Amino acid sequence: MNKLFSPIDILNGVGVKREKLLRKLNITTPYDLLYHIPRSYTDFSHTVQICDGVLDENNCIKTKIIRKLRTIITARTEIFKALCTDGEVSFEISIFGNKYLFETLTEGEEYYAYGKLSQYYDKFQLSISHIIPVTSQNLIQPVYPLTSGLTSAMLQTNVNECLTIAENELIDYMPLDILEKYSLCDLLTALRNVHFPISYDSLEMARKRLAFDELLMLQLGMQFIKYSNGEKTEYIMQKTDFPELFPFELTNAQKKAIKEISEDLCCDVPMNRLLQGDVGSGKTAVAAYAMYFAVKNNCQVAFMAPTEILAVQHYNTVKEFLGDKLRICLLTGALSVKEKNECKKAIEKGEYDVIIGTHALFQKSVEYKNLGLVIMDEQHRFGVAQRTALIEKGQAPHRLVMSATPIPRTLGLVLYGDLDITILDELPKNRLAIETFAVTGKLRQRAFGFIKKQLELKHQAYIVCPAIEESDDLKSVIQYCNEISQKDFRDYNVALLHGKLTAAQKDEVMTAFKNGETDILVATTVVEVGVDVPNSTIMIIENADRFGLSQLHQLRGRVGRGKDQSYCVLVTDNPSEEVRDRLKIFCKLTDGFKIAEEDLKQRGPGDFFGKEQHGLPKLKIADIASDMELVNITQTVAKDILTADKTLEKHHALKIEVMRMTSKMKNG
Ligand code: ADP
Ligand code: MG
């Protein structure tokens, strides 16, 4: 039998073979193997007679092996067979490819056999995935996430070895009073029971302790980063008077945000602030004031957006309102090499105050003269590495990150515990709520008629189609666009925007739409984030059931940005009651935070952030949605611990564990 490593290897951390196998599991140390948590469990405690078994499903049968049969050798594998009985009926078991397992079975002995049941005429067959002696103590057996070349049995053996060593080596870093207060079991018991539970109760105890630890480490980690790294910035700014930068009056929320930010900028600790606000709450204006403030204090500002379209849009806005006061440039991948080089040179010499762009802003070749403030729009779209790369372009610059993804408060603390948070909880005055309807495809023509009415009023429209940019979806979006532009909207200008266009093409399409040259923009979700065309007043979302509520909210936020009443029509042919209810709820809700809560409840946090969005910590055991109570408790515990022991000096073992776990989450 293959071993992942010998106990000696675990202790001294050497062994080429072990490394190879740990790499297969994508883990780095043997200790982590204990945290390679089972995906599910096989329950041997409920057995059935073979005649009562469910065909084509997994069943657990108490089985006596009568006689081992001849091995069948096929081109692909070996099939090991034995004749068995459940006490009443005889049947055959087969084990695929696992000679080792087969050899452990003894004729005349009794086992719990677990596997898929099939019937051939009147003969039953059980194709074994798991088999244990009836004398086994563990009737709940772990099923591990595996990669090729590894079997559950190999993992079990090695986990068991690790546990034996852990008995002597493992330190429970959790203070006793916390264990007592929250009725948690000790760490070794938890680890042992999560791998080899003796009962469902013990499994639940184990899971609770490990989930508690995971959430606590996450929160401690972030609080710790926030308070104890002692980072100082050399960009300590002085108060300056603000001129009126925009033709509208700022909302109170905006004013408050600007005040908080400018106070941060006057400190010697770099600002680390999240500006969160619903779509259309005017985050860009706040960012503009922050820029102005920093530049007046002789700093350069880098303003990073996740997409080319957004970078250009921000550039145009900032240029329009601040162009006569600040020197502003745009640096994106779409520039020619020559333009880029010129731009970079000027940035290095300090000839630009505000540099707006995409990922191009943190390329190696870009050097800043005195980067004092870094602003990131829609920050959840950037990974930690990308954020860090930009920040490292300056000497501990101030950071402002902005997000339009409203996040339920609890979740916000988990995700952004290392940030100070400002919330823009107010929309500019005179904003009208977007009237939203959900309809079936039968009413599509009426929706189109509705679009035409808006177009006659010289407004513009979006039609959003969900598309995975790599697939047939995209083809059907292109076809959809061709069809409506030749049929329904023959007399109008229809354009198509999708993720597979080059940056320059996207830019061209967007610019034409912004300038009012295009009446209808058919688009995939590339319009989701931040695009601002106040003249567009209607959006139709096709296959709306394929989006999460928060994403729908983001999409819908593309309309209702001007003074006119706007509309959003959700089209779905999905007959599911549940889907319809979900969309109906959405039609009634306007507040992004409420929608986020609803979304979290319905679809859990993973979905909530969408596939391509980064920033959610990879949790192995805890589940933020269903462990909300633990999230709350651990928040309190983390705060209590840090209040008493700011640098965790008195909790040395705990501190080491915090470091280990947080580095895992970040890399994960
Ligand atoms: P978001 O927070 O979604 O990024 P934007 O910054 O794009 O929002 O602002 C949305 C629109 O609202 C823009 O057209 C902007 O000019 C306008 N706007 C921002 N603040 C105000 C305000 N206080 N009063 C009126 N309009 C505003
Ligand atoms: Mg925005």
Spatial strand order of the sheet with 371-376 comes to 328-331, 354-357, 300-304, 371-376, 398-403, 272-277, 420-424
pLDDT at 605: 58
Residue 255 near ligand 1, beta carbon < 6 Å: no
Q: How far is CA 287 from CA 230, 245, 275, 558, 585, in A?
A: 26, 11, 9, 19, 33
Alpha helices in 95-249 (DSSP H): 99-104, 152-169, 176-181, 187-195, 200-228
Residue 252 near ligand 1, beta carbon < 6 Å: no
Average of per-residue pLDDT across 362-385: 83
H or E segment and range at residue 186: none
What is the distance in A from the centroid of ligand 2 to the CA of 577? Answer: 34
Residue 558 near ligand 1, beta carbon < 6 Å: no
Q: Looking at ligand 1, which residue's alpha carbon is closest to its atom 4?
A: 283
Residue 561 near ligand 1, beta carbon < 6 Å: yes
What is the distance in A from the centroid of ligand 1 to the CA of 530? Answer: 10
| 210 vs 190: CA distance, rounded Å | 7
- Domains belonging to the chain, first-starting first, are 45-135 (2.40.50.140), 252-424 (3.40.50.300), 435-589 (3.40.50.300)
Average of per-residue pLDDT across 305-319: 88
Q: Ligand 1, from 281, 529, 556, 564: best to mutate by most atoms within 8 Å of Cβ?
A: 281
pLDDT at 15: 39
Residue 592 near ligand 1, beta carbon < 6 Å: no
pLDDT at 2: 32
Residue 227 near ligand 1, beta carbon < 6 Å: no
127-147 residue pLDDT tens:
998 899 999 888 898 888 877
| Distance from the first to the final alpha carbon of the chain | 30
Average of per-residue pLDDT across 356-367: 90
What is the distance in A from the centroid of ligand 2 to the CA of 583? Answer: 25
Determine the distance from the C-alpha atom of residue 235 to the mean position of all C-alpha atoms in its chain, rounded to a whole number: 33
What is the distance in A from the centroid of ligand 2 to the CA of 378? Answer: 7
Residue 115 near ligand 1, beta carbon < 6 Å: no
- Whether the CB-CB separation of 527 and 464 falls below 8 Å is answered with yes
Ligand 1 atom nearest to CA at 281: 2
Whole-model pTM? 0.66
The bridge status of strand 300-304 relative to strand 371-376 is parallel
Ligand 1 atom nearest to CA at 249: 23
| 358 vs 386: CA distance, rounded Å | 11
Q: Which ligand is nearest to the CA of 554?
A: 1
229-271 residue pLDDT tens:
667 888 999 988 888 889 999 999 999 999 999 999 999 989 9
110: confidence class by pLDDT, cuts 50, 70, 90:
very high
Residue 554 near ligand 1, beta carbon < 6 Å: no
60-79 residue pLDDT tens:
999 999 999 999 998 888 99
- Whether the CB-CB separation of 221 and 658 falls below 8 Å is answered with yes
Ligand 1 atom nearest to CA at 562: 14
Q: Looking at ligand 1, which residue's alpha carbon is closest to its atom 18?
A: 282
499-524 residue pLDDT tens:
888 877 887 898 899 899 999 999 98
462-507 residue pLDDT tens:
999 987 777 777 778 899 999 999 999 999 999 999 888 887 788 7
Residue 530 near ligand 1, beta carbon < 6 Å: yes
pLDDT at 12 over 80: no
Residue 284 near ligand 1, beta carbon < 6 Å: yes
Altogether, the residues listed in the chain come to a count of: 668
Residue 559 near ligand 1, beta carbon < 6 Å: no
327: confidence class by pLDDT, cuts 50, 70, 90:
very high
| 94 vs 102: CA distance, rounded Å | 9
Q: Which of 94-103, 464-473, 572-581 has the lowest mean pLDDT?
A: 464-473
What is the distance in A from the centroid of ligand 2 to the CA of 53? Answer: 58
Residue 279 near ligand 1, beta carbon < 6 Å: yes
What is the distance in A from the centroid of ligand 1 to the CA of 559? Answer: 12
186-242 residue pLDDT tens:
999 999 999 999 899 999 999 999 999 998 988 888 777 666 566 788 899 998 888
- Whether the CB-CB separation of 108 and 65 falls below 8 Å is answered with yes
pLDDT at 278: 83
Higher pLDDT, 548 or 400: 400
Question: SS3 for 594?
Answer: helix
